[in-house]
Amino acid sequence: MADDDELDLAALSDEELVEQMHADLYDGMKEEIEEGVRILLERGWQPYRVLTEALVEGMRIVGIDFRDGILFVPEVLLSANAMKAGMTILRPRLAETNAPKVGKIVIGTVKGDIHDIGKNLVGMMLEGAGFEVIDIGINNPVENYLAALEEHKPDILGMSALLTTTMPYMKVVIDTMKEKGIRDDYLVLVGGAPLNEEFGMAVGADGYCRDAAIAVEMAKDMMARRHNVRAAAV
């Protein structure tokens, strides 16, 4: 028999369950998050809704208390771990698509920065939209980006940064691409919480993506435009 103190997540209404998942994410309770995600999916929730309403919103709350010094790195790491466990369940469902491959993207977090939840989410959503995604991970110096571009010949380079101290590194990457004469061979998209449109323009990116859904829209749109320009040229 279940312990009296143990909460039966399946007995909660959708609203109560989502609220409980925010609390569980806050407390870094990986198994409870996994269970919550499964329950919502069984109740017919779309994977994207589970992702945004239960997980991303929960992480937003964690971010506020992290900023205010109520939560510290070890606790936030547990939250991140629980979030990733939930994302692992959602990933194949978000990627379930029979769409033909629409393009290829290399994506990575810049040097000095180890935040990867947002980047992973963008990658998952792009996969779901039919992109081939090559994820080069975190803490990437310019050499890693250049090597990945050379090896994979993608259509798009995506860069993520979550710190005000690391976001300027995006310009280092783009300027190096310019020096090597390869800047215009790729579309460059940037994203991350501290960035904005103006910053994206200032570093010389083709687009700034506020969130994963916009990243998908922008990537698809740019691929279509590129295709049309090429078609018009022949």
Q: In the complex, which residues of this chain contact ligand B1M (CB under 6 A)?
A: 56, 59, 62-63, 66-67, 73, 76-77, 80, 107, 112-119, 121-122, 158-160, 162-164, 189-194, 209, 211-212, 215
As measured in angstroms, the least distance from the Cβ of 32 to ligand B1M is 18
Q: How far is the CB of 117 from ligand B1M (least distance, A)?
A: 3
CA distance 126 to 104: 9
Minimum CB distance to ligand B1M smaller for 10 or for 153: 153
**From CA 216, how far away is CA 111, in angstroms rounded?**
24
- Report residue 231 CA to chain centroid gap: 31
Segment holding 230, helix H or strand E: helix 212-233
- The three-class DSSP label of residue 224 is helix
Kindly state the smallest distance separating residue 111's Cβ from ligand B1M, in Å: 10
* Closer residue to ligand B1M, CB minimum distance, 17 or 107: 107
Distance CA 176, CA 135 (A): 20
Looking at the Cβ atoms of 12 and 27, the one nearer to ligand B1M is 27
User: CB 41 → ligand B1M: shortest distance, Å?
Assistant: 19
Task: Return the structure tokens found at 1.
Answer: 């028999």
Residue 169 to residue 107: CA distance in whole angstroms? 14
Of residues 16 and 188, the one with the C-beta less far from ligand B1M: 188
